[in-house]
Amino acid sequence: MENDAKRFLYVNRKAPYGTIYALESLEVVLIGAAFEQNVSLAFLDDGVFQLTKGQDTQGIGVKNFSPTYRALGDYDVNKLYVEKESLEERGLSVDDLQEITYEDEDDDWEEKPSINIVSRSEMADIMANQDVVLSF
């Protein structure tokens, strides 16, 4: 599958809740996962806010969709790239993000982290190395 599958990158640059982009992206990723493509997710600029832990939306009466990122592994989406510079500019570090893991089919179902922290130049390389880029 990996050989002839197209490489899809979903680019997430918006904070959750303020606009509908983050939720729309997540839904498209989950629906698109049925097509067994090679999917990666990029989180940069305000998109890094999507992955923060401890989100509690009771006070604003909106559905908290942050737990759904933890289901991505079940959908075989396990490459989440988060840009280090974007985190730092926003006063965040990897410790402010929720833990997201997947079970590696090829390694006796060992649980592994899905989030990879990458530099801006690494992110540029990831973006350049795709067949399809979808922006949110």
Partner 1 sequence: MSTLHTVNKSPFSTQSLVSCLGHAKDGDTVLLIEDGVYGAISQSGISDAISARATEVNLCVLQPDLEARGVDAAKVVEGVNLVDYSGFVELAAKHSLTQAWL
Partner 2 sequence: MAYQVNGATIEHDEEGYILTLSDWSKELADVIAETEEIDMNEEHWEVVNFLREYYEEYQIAPAVRVLIKSIKKSLGPEKGNNKYMYELFPYGPAKQACKIAGLPKPTGCV
Q: How far is the CB of 15 from partner 1 (least distance, A)?
A: 5
Q: How far is the CB of 13 from partner 2 (least distance, A)?
A: 22
> Any long-range contacts for 107-116 (C-beta under 8 Å, 24+ apart)?
112/78, 114/72, 114/73, 114/77, 114/78, 114/79, 114/80, 115/51, 115/80, 115/82, 116/79, 116/80, 116/81, 116/82
Which pair of structure tokens corresponds to residue 51? 């992955």
Q: How far is the CB of 53 from partner 2 (least distance, A)?
A: 15
Q: How far is CA 119 from the centre of its chain?
A: 15
Contact partner, 122, from partner 1, partner 2, none, Cβ < 5-8 Å per class: none
Contact partner, 75, from partner 2, partner 1, none, Cβ < 5-8 Å per class: partner 2
Contact partner, 31, from partner 1, partner 2, none, Cβ < 5-8 Å per class: partner 2
Stretch (H or E) spanning 31: helix 21-32
Q: 3-state DSSP call for residue 46?
A: helix
* Interface contacts to partner 2, rule CB under 8 A: 27, 30-31, 33-34, 63-65, 67-68, 70-71, 74-75
- Is 129 in contact with 8 (CB distance < 8 Å)? no
Stretch (H or E) spanning 132: strand 132-135
Q: How far is the CB of 109 from partner 2 (least distance, A)?
A: 8
Minimum CB distance to partner 2 smaller for 63 or for 91 = 63
Minimum CB distance to partner 2 smaller for 38 or for 127 = 38
* Interface contacts to partner 1, rule CB under 8 A: 14-19, 45-46, 49, 52-60, 62, 64, 66, 88-92, 96
